[in-house]
């Protein structure tokens, strides 16, 4: 072996296999093999994997590319072959006649799954954002947090308003289902998402005109009536107005806000600021008609008669459920919603200093009532029939209530209200134990005989849920209601009567504010489609599809720990007897710092990522390698400096496909493995920016990458014209272009022949000259010494000149 021979690397260091797309070409010698008991015809010399794939067997693989020599690195395609004592990689072994192969089976499945678990335990990237999926209105949380961290506040506010028109109000009252599923919680503590969007809401309040997600559409001339100025109605009005429809909002109350104003107490949501925030709806041209009650002042038919094209019912759930126990009609039993309502309006309420109040229930209303009573100076006990865990209210609110001096009593259900001097003197309770789970998944309480006890009080507030007030229903033909007193609507939120939509509490039963907002948003979309004459069955199917919950896989995240930025709170001792707002909001630096903690659980490769697909197929919904020491994980810097290719080493699974394609097919040889042992990683020489390598920006590596470790930056493709007067015929462009984009142009072919000077061809000779493919090195002496070359990227382009 000569020195030259030794130091010029051979390109194929693995067994070359024959690969064919689709059918075996006629004339290829074939043989018969057996895969999972099924007879399969395979071309002799091709890999087992290829034969199995052609026959329709789903053999998983993460490092196989038809263009490349196999690496057998990912170990996903291992199959059991008769005659081998252990599983062998099917991408690597050529077919031999009569082979008996087992490509599926529980043992293989379990081991492949283990393999994926390993990969996901060192795949420091997070696929899909659980927060966005968990949020009922699907706020682009990673998106606005990224903008927030960068200080682009106006853009962040705009992005928020795409799905959430009232970030300030929700920033205070939302139970934040997003935070419960936040992946940062697997590192140390979730992101304070709610507080972060509250910060933007507050910023928007200070502006003369609130930012809109997109410019308001031109007026369509259609009119939409929204009944109910609560969260769902106002959201529907906001997005309908943005679409250019003329919206009128009716409400039975004199002022806007619905439950936000009349249900949620001042200490959770200051009404002055709520009004400022809701103004964004009126700024878009919508109109408010207060004191108009459906059924009393107008009917749905009236609205259509007045020329409205669509109606949205967002009337909420304002009627408290009854306890259905003796003594409920005694003086001193207060209806929860009415009580909050009176307090919000500043009317006198029957609770004051020295009152002894019992609030029954475990939901948000329960705690609004009890904490309000506490602030009015009462001595308050909350009684719930299940445990703290089952409470419908957010755990933070339960904790806060306890800290404010409210007693909590669990596992007790009311039996009767005790009379004393003609009014309430106490409530008799019975102890409960938890039995089997019921339909809602919560364990059903079972009474314990003979365990009755009495809590003395002068006021009882039953807060065990609300239902919509549907007294007007009889006069509205075409609507249906459920047994739970809610309005029936389809997937597009349209009721049985065309043009009438329903959403929020009145359609779902009492739910959270954010769920109502989500319904308002969907209703606005459906109404817009309805007004443009779309088929509503299609719209319903579309919305159902959009709202379906995608599956998540469990990836072990690793980032250095950094605690949550705490929101400043009003001290507990100042809360009693004061309706002052508890949360004072983030300052700019705090908001930016907190947003910077976001793991950015988004990957542009979602849906195309083979690792994601295989992990879903193998049911990787949990991973056993979370939360160990930092040395167990990797946190690499990403390299987004290249003009066309984005590199994120955190997503690399060391399949070496990019190494092989760049070396063997493209010839640029930009990638290789660096580091030792577990810390080995595929990267550029000395881990420099890809910009400083021999990269020709062909994108073959990004195309072949099974994950999102290498991705093409979005780019606008343009056609470039050659300025022949400036070309010096260097041929560099032709030589480096791996897609033969330049090699096909006659002028450039001319430059190839000019460059080496040995053959100056006449015009007619040029017409028949062969086209050199870019992966071939053009011989200096004109002799074709190509020998064995790497597989071709694409078939050679036919000469197109001389026509």
Contact residue for other proteins among 60, 70, 462, 503 (CB under 8 A): 70
Binding test (CB under 8 A) with other proteins, winner from 60, 87, 392, 738: 87
Give me the DSSP letters along 320-344. Answer: EPP--STTTTSTTB--HHHHHHHHH
Distance CA 508, CA 312 (A): 14
- Contact flag: residue 642 with other proteins (CB under 8 A): no
Nearer to other proteins, 552 or 646 (CB): 552
Between CA 532 and CA 577 the distance in angstroms is: 53
Distance CA 487, CA 370 (A): 30
Q: Which of residues 420-479 bind other proteins (CB under 8 A)?
A: none
- In the chain the first and final C-alpha atoms are separated, in Å, by 48
Contacts of 653 (CB under 8 A, 6+ apart): 62, 74, 119, 122, 123, 611, 706, 707, 709
**Residues 520/499, Cβ–Cβ less than 8 Å:** no
DSSP SS3 for 33: strand
- Residue 61 as a binder of other proteins (CB under 8 A): the answer is no
> Pick from 204, 365, 654, 684: which binds other proteins (CB under 8 A)?
654
788 three-state secondary structure: coil
Per-residue mark of binding to other proteins, 487-526 (x: CB under 8 A):
----------------------------------------
Q: Is 142 in the site for other proteins (CB under 8 A)?
A: no
Pick the binder of other proteins from 390, 542, 562, 632 (CB under 8 A).
632
Nearer to other proteins, 376 or 666 (CB): 666
44 binds other proteins (CB under 8 A): no
Angstrom distance (rounded) from CA 295 to CA 388 = 40
Q: Is 240 in the site for other proteins (CB under 8 A)?
A: no
Q: Which stretch binds other proteins (CB under 8 A): 107-115, 238-246, 359-367, 635-643?
A: 107-115
Q: Which of 396, 532, 680, 687 binds other proteins (CB under 8 A)?
A: 680
Work out which of 51, 73, 160, 378 binds other proteins, going by CB under 8 A: 73
**Using CB under 8 A, which residues numbered 552 to 581 contact other proteins?**
552-554
Q: What angle do CA 202, 207, 212 make, to 5 degrees?
A: 90
Contacting residue, 181, 541, 616, 733, with other proteins by CB under 8 A? 181
For residue 115, the SS3 value is helix
Q: How far is the CB of 94 from other proteins (least distance, A)?
A: 9
Helix intervals (H) in 41-166: 48-54, 106-121, 130-134, 141-150, 153-161
Kindly identify the residues of this chain, within the stretch 594-623, that bind other proteins according to CB under 8 A: 621-623
Choose, by CB under 8 A, the member of 677, 757, 787, 798 that binds other proteins: 677
Residue 199 C-beta-side C-alpha neighbours within 13 Å? 28
100 binds other proteins (CB under 8 A): no
Distance CA 329, CA 335 (A): 11
Quick check: 130 binds other proteins (CB under 8 A)? yes
Q: What's the rounded Cα separation, in Å, for the pair 799 and 346? A: 87
**Residue 228 lies near other proteins (rule: CB under 8 A):** no
Which C-beta is closer to other proteins: that of 110 or that of 219? Answer: 110
- What is the closest distance, in whole angstroms, from the C-beta atom of residue 248 to other proteins in the complex? 41
Tell me if 9 contacts other proteins by CB under 8 A: yes
CB atoms within 10 A of CB 89: 22
Applying CB under 8 A, the site for other proteins has a residue count of: 57
Q: Does residue 785 interact with other proteins by CB under 8 A?
A: no
Assess contact for 493 and 519: CB atoms under 8 A.
yes
Tell me which DSSP letter residue 580 carries. -
Using the rule CB under 8 A, which residue among 6, 21, 763, 785 binds other proteins? 6
> Which residues on neighbouring strands pair with residue 31, listed in sequence order?
42
Q: Report the residue number, 120 or 359, with the smaller CB distance to other proteins.
A: 120
Task: Report if residue 649 touches other proteins, rule: CB under 8 A.
Answer: no
Per CB under 8 A, does 186 bind other proteins? Answer: yes
Only segment of 23-31, 283-291, 300-308, 546-554 that touches other proteins (CB under 8 A): 546-554
- SS3 (DSSP) at 337: helix
Q: Does 625 bind other proteins (CB under 8 A)?
A: yes
User: Which residues are CB-contacts of 176 (< 8 A; sequence separation ≥ 6)?
Assistant: 193, 194, 394
Q: Is 705 in the site for other proteins (CB under 8 A)?
A: no
Of the pair 1, 780, the CB lying nearest other proteins is at 1
- The residue (of 629 and 764) whose beta carbon lies closer to other proteins is 629
Query: Quick check: 48 and 90 in contact, CB under 8 A?
Result: yes
Distance CA 781, CA 758 (A): 7
In whole angstroms, what is the distance from residue 523 CA to residue 596 CA? 34
Asked if 188 is part of the footprint of other proteins (rule: CB under 8 A), the reply reads: no
Among 628, 722, 767, 797, indicate the residue that binds other proteins (CB under 8 A).
Answer: 628
In the bound complex, what is the minimum distance in angstroms from residue 90's beta carbon to other proteins? 11
- Is the Cα dihedral 685, 689, 695, 700 positive or negative? positive
Provide the β-strand partners of residue 725.
none
Residues 6+ apart with CB under 8 A from 724: 747
Does 636 engage in binding with other proteins (CB under 8 A)? no
The Cα–Cα gap between 380 and 374 comes to: 6
Residue 131 or 415: which CB sits closer to other proteins?
Answer: 131
Half-sphere exposure at residue 90, Cβ-oriented, CA atoms within 13 angstroms: 27
- C-alpha distances (whole Å) from 643 to each of 146, 706, 780 are 21, 21, 33
Task: Check residue 391 for interaction with other proteins (CB under 8 A).
Answer: no
DSSP 47: B
89 binding other proteins? (CB under 8 A): yes
- 332 within 8 A of 423, measured Cβ to Cβ: yes
Q: Residue 634: name the closest of 111, 130, 185, 120 by CA.
A: 120
Rounded Cα–Cα distance for residues 141 and 200 (Å): 13
Whichever of 454 and 628 has its CB closer to other proteins, that residue is 628
Instruction: Point out which span in 12-20, 252-260, 301-309, 732-740 binds other proteins (CB under 8 A).
Output: 12-20
Q: Does 4 bind other proteins (CB under 8 A)?
A: no
Could you tell me the smallest distance in angstroms from the CB atom of residue 44 to other proteins? 15
Please tell me whether residue 629 binds other proteins under the rule CB under 8 A: yes
Judged by CB under 8 A, does residue 640 bind other proteins? no
With binding defined as CB under 8 A, does residue 368 bind other proteins?
Answer: no
Q: How far is the CB of 543 from other proteins (least distance, A)?
A: 23
Based on the shown chain and the rule CB under 8 A, indicate whether residue 121 belongs to the binding site for other proteins. yes
| Residue 624 in the binding site for other proteins (CB under 8 A) | yes
Going from the C-alpha of 393 to that of each of 371, 471, 473, 569, the distances in angstroms are 13, 28, 30, 19
**298: closest CA among 245, 362, 353, 252?**
252
Q: Which of 4, 676, 717, 780 binds other proteins (CB under 8 A)?
A: 676
Contact between residue 143 and residue 615 where contact means Cβ atoms under 8 Å apart: no
- 3-state SS of 211-252 is CCCCCCCCCCCCEEEEECCCHHHHHHHHHHHHCCCEEEEECC
User: Which range in 39-47, 64-72, 229-237, 736-744 contacts other proteins by CB under 8 A?
Assistant: 64-72
CB-wise, 89 or 230, nearer to other proteins? Answer: 89
Quote the CA–CA distance of 642 and 691 in Å, as a whole number.
Answer: 5
Which of 72, 534, 733, 741 is the binder for other proteins (CB under 8 A)? 72
Least distance (Å) between residue 776 CB and other proteins: 21
> Does 139 help bind other proteins (rule: CB under 8 A)?
no
Does residue number 687 form part of the binding site for other proteins (CB under 8 A)? no
Binding site for other proteins (CB under 8 A): 1, 6-7, 9-10, 12-15, 70-75, 78, 86-87, 89, 92-93, 111, 114-115, 118-119, 121-122, 130, 134, 180-181, 183, 186, 552-554, 621-629, 632, 653-654, 656, 672-673, 675-678, 680
């Amino acid at each position: 072996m000569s020195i030259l021979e030794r130091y010029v690397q051979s390109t194929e260091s693995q067994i070359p296999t024959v690969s064919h797309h689709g059918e075996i070409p006629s004339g290829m010698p074939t043989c018969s093999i057996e895969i999972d008991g099924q007879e399969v015809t395979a071309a002799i010399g091709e890999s087992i994997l290829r034969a199995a794939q052609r026959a329709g067997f789903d053999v998983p693989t993460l490092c196989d590319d038809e263009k490349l020599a196999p690496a057998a690195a990912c170990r996903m395609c291992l199959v059991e072959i008769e005659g081998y004592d252990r599983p062998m990689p099917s991408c690597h072994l050529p077919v031999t006649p009569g082979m008996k192969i087992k490509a599926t089976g529980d043992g293989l499945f379990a081991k492949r799954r283990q393999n994926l678990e390993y990969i996901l335990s060192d795949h420091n990237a997070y696929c899909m954002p659980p927060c966005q999926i968990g949020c009922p209105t699907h706020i682009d949380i990673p998106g606005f947090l990224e903008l927030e961290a960068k200080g682009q506040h106006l853009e962040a506010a705009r992005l928020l308003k795409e799905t959430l028109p009232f970030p300030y109000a929700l920033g205070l009252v939302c139970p934040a289902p997003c935070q419960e599923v936040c992946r940062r919680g697997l590192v140390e503590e979730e992101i304070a998402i709610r507080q972060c969007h509250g910060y933007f809401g507050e910023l928007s309040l200070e502006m003369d005109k609130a930012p809109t997600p997109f410019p308001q559409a031109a007026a369509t001339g259609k009119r939409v009536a929204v009944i109910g100025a609560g969260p769902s109605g106002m959201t529907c009005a906001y997005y309908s107005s943005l679409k250019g429809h003329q919206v009128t909002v009716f409400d039975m109350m004199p002022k806007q806000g619905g439950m936000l104003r009349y249900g949620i107490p001042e200490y959770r949501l200051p009404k002055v600021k709520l009004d400022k925030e809701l103004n964004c709806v009126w700024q878009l041209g919508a109109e408010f008609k207060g004191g108009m009650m459906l059924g009393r002042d107008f009917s749905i038919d009236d609205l259509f008669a007045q020329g409205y094209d669509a109606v949205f019912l967002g009337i909420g759930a304002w009627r408290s459920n009854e306890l259905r126990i003796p003594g409920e009609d005694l003086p001193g039993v207060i209806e929860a919603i009415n009580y909050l309502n009176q307090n919000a309006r500043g009317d006198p309420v029957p609770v004051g200093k020295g009152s002894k109040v019992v609030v029954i229930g475990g939901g948000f209303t329960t705690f609004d009532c009890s904490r309000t009573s506490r602030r009015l100076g009462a001595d308050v006990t909350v009684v719930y029939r299940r445990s703290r865990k089952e409470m419908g209210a957010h755990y933070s609110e339960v904790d806060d209530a306890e800290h404010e001096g409210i007693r909590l009593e669990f596992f007790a259900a009311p039996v009767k209200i005790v009379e004393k001097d003609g009014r309430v003197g106490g409530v008799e309770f019975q102890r409960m134990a938890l039995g089997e789970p019921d339909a809602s998944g919560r364990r059903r309480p079972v009474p314990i005989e003979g365990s009755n006890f009495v809590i003395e009080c002068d006021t009882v507030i039953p807060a065990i849920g609300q239902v919509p007030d549907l007294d007007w229903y009889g006069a509205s033909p075409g609507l249906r209601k459920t047994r739970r007193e809610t309005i029936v609507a389809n997937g597009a939120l349209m009721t049985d009567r065309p043009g009438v939509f329903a959403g929020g509490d009145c359609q779902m039963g009492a739910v959270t504010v954010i769920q109502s907002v989500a319904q308002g948003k969907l209703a606005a979309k459906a109404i817009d489609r309805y007004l443009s004459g779309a088929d509503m069955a299609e719209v319903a199917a579309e919305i159902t599809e959009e709202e379906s919950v995608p599956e998540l896989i469990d990836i072990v995240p690793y980032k250095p720990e950094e605690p949550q930025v705490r929101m400043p709170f009003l001290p507990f001792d100042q809360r009693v007897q004061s309706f002052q707002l508890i949360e004072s909001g983030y300052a700019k630096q705090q908001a930016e710092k907190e947003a910077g903690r976001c793991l950015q659980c988004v990957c542009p490769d979602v849906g195309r990522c083979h690792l994601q697909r295989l992990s879903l197929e193998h049911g990787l919904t949990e991973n056993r390698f979370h939360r160990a020491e930092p040395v167990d994980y990797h946190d690499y810097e990403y390299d987004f400096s290249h003009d066309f290719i984005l590199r994120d080493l955190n997503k690399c699974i060391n399949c070496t496909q990019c190494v092989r394609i760049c070396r063997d097919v493209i010839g640029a040889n930009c990638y290789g493995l660096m580091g030792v042992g577990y810390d080995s990683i595929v990267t550029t020489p000395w881990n420099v920016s890809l910009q400083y390598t021999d990269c020709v920006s062909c994108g073959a590596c990004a195309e072949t990458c099974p994950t999102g470790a290498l991705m093409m930056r979005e780019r606008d493709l343009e056609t470039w014209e050659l300025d022949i007067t400036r070309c010096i015929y260097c041929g560099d462009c032709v030589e480096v272009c791996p897609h033969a984009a330049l090699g096909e142009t006659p002028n450039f072919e001319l430059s190839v022949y000019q460059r080496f000077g040995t053959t100056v061809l006449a015009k007619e000779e040029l017409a028949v000259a062969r086209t050199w493919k870019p992966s071939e090195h053009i011989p200096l002496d004109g002799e074709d010494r190509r020998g064995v070359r790497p597989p071709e990227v694409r078939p050679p382009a036919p000469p197109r000149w001389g026509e």
